[in-house]
Amino acid sequence: MAYRMWEMLERAHSGPFMEEAEFLNKRIPKAMRAVINKYGVKYDPARPVPADDALADAVWQAACEFFLEVGVYNQDTHRVMHFTQEELDEALYCTPSSYRVGEGRDSRVFGHRDVEDSRPPFVIFSPDITYDEVDHLQACLAYLKEPLLDGICSPLLDEFQGRPIQSRTPWEIGGSLEHAMNLRHAARLAGVPGVFLVAVGTAETDVAQVAVSDPTWGVRPSDGRLVGSITEMMTNNAMLNKGAHYQMYGSFSGNLTGAIYGAYAGGAEGTAILEAAYHLKGLLVHGCQFQQNFPFHLKYGSNTGREMLWVVSLYSQAVARNTHLVQDSNGFANAGPGTDMLLYETAAHALTSTVSGANLWESAPARNKHHNHGTPLEARLGAEVGHAVARQAMTRAQANEIVNALLAKYEEKIPQAPVGQAFQELYDVRKAVPKTEYLDLYKRVKEELHELGIEFLY
């Protein structure tokens, strides 16, 4: 469902005029301070996985009030899009709680989850980084071999035929088509031709996204697409073009948002409220079917530190308890592949997200900054943790104890986290399988997690 699409889009051109600096520097901080104080939202570092239903509900109420007060700013027209409580209520009521995504035997139900839900999370595997063009197909294949994968947002390209990809050039179009075709080819080679693809990340612009919409060789209506937000609570005409195209083409659209801890929203309290509010932007501005969340720390670019796990847990609970929206939680770790720190971080994020009512999007290693630094193995661990803690009906209180134990293993290392090793060092690229040394590390960390109380299924 795209909620009253053209009526909503009209407001990007007819809403009240405002300068961008006023929207960012005055409107957002003032409104955020007001709702934090009004609803008494307070960060507790001892509980990275809070089990306070009243607090989660307060975050949701604050998010709704903040969203209706602030609106969404269009950078191109300098107009503020405003919405009413009646529209918000209607959109929340009418949106479906689940979708069947992908095609044929590989299709899956991507749906809402409750807090402490015993149903396993829908897991999208994604490294969120660029890979060498020569290894891109094999990297896609390595991810698509993973049995717990429900969907994939595949490795990205930053080169096409030896030339750096630049936005709004033929090389962006060419690289985006190569990405889409590699992904479809890899899915067929892996025996999952109908798998849900969230594609394609190489296509940064609206023009490139339109170019890859083709059910024969590219992105199908059964696949997912992403439309981002501009920090904070802003959009532009290109983003609106993407959202409108996705709805008219028939794709499952996700609102890609990352509220920044330490920026306009302030600390943990404001970041949690803002990330919850972004769900409303996705619903009303872009007509999205799901919300893809990646709040991150301004200094570190990650969301596996203590304060960020609290943010992840709390906004997830707020949305899960007060709506039937479909949401997933994207892990951004500090350490890179081939390190035990990355596996601890991935486990902490997946555990926190799962018990708090989110689906999983795992994971972006090494702060999403290092070329080729991402493998399916850390994503596999996130998926195994998510399935295990859901099946054993783990409570938030139990999860909080385990997450505190995991934080003790890596928290002090966050400022100087190891970059780790590249995909080509940790995997046999020709066979698209992990090397023995990384598998041995994986098994050791998995045993440590079992000793902490995670009952793996196999």
CATH number at residue 310: 3.20.20.460
Output Rg (C-alpha) for the chain, integer angstroms: 21
Residue 183 lies inside a defined structural domain of this protein:
yes
* Mean pLDDT rounded to a whole number for the chain: 97
Gap between the Cα atoms of 83 and 71, Å rounded: 7
Angle between helices 340-355 and 376-391 (to 10 degrees): 40
Residue 167 lies inside a defined structural domain of this protein:
yes
Before 363, cis peptide (omega within 30)?
Answer: yes
How many structural domains is the chain composed of? 1
> Is the pLDDT score of 1 beyond 80?
no
Gap between the Cα atoms of 228 and 340, Å rounded: 31
Residue 14 lies inside a defined structural domain of this protein:
no
Residue 131 lies inside a defined structural domain of this protein:
yes
The type of residue at 376 is P
Listing DSSP states for 244-271 in one string gives HHHHHHT-EEEEEE-PEETBTTBSHHHH
N-to-C CA span, the chain: 38
Residue 44 lies inside a defined structural domain of this protein:
no
At residue 394 the predicted structure's pLDDT band, cuts being 50, 70 and 90, is very high
Which residue from 270, 310, 234, 325 is spatially nearest to 1, judged by alpha carbons?
Answer: 325
Residue 218 lies inside a defined structural domain of this protein:
yes
List for the chain the helix, strand, coil content (%; round to 5). Answer: 50, 15, 35
CA 290 to each of CA 182, 242, 378, 455: distance values in angstroms, whole numbers, following the listed order: 25, 15, 24, 29
The helix (run of H) or strand (run of E) holding residue 408 is helix 396-410
Spell out the residues 6+ positions from residue 189 whose beta carbon is closer than 8 angstroms to its own: 141, 144
> Is the pLDDT score of 298 beyond 80?
yes
Mean pLDDT of 37-57: 98
Q: Structural domain of residue 293, as residue ranges?
A: 98-452
Query: b vs e for 108-134, b when ≥16 Cβ sit within 10 Å of the residue's Cβ?
Result: bebbbbebbbeebbbbbbbbbbbbbbe
Token pair recorded at residue 426: 């940790």
> Is the pLDDT score of 2 beyond 90?
no
pLDDT digits (tens, 9 = 90+) for 228-285: 999 999 999 999 999 999 999 999 999 999 999 999 999 999 999 999 999 999 999 9
Residue 193 lies inside a defined structural domain of this protein:
yes
- Counting DSSP H helices and E strands in the chain, the numbers are 16, 21
pLDDT digits (tens, 9 = 90+) for 58-115: 999 999 999 999 999 999 999 999 999 999 999 999 999 999 999 999 999 999 999 9
- Let me know if 317 is exposed, middle or buried by CB neighbors in 10 A (0-12, 13-18, 19+): buried
Gap between the Cα atoms of 410 and 425, Å rounded: 23
CA 302 to each of CA 172, 274, 308: distance values in angstroms, whole numbers, following the listed order: 27, 17, 8
Mean pLDDT of 124-140: 97
Residue 83 lies inside a defined structural domain of this protein:
no
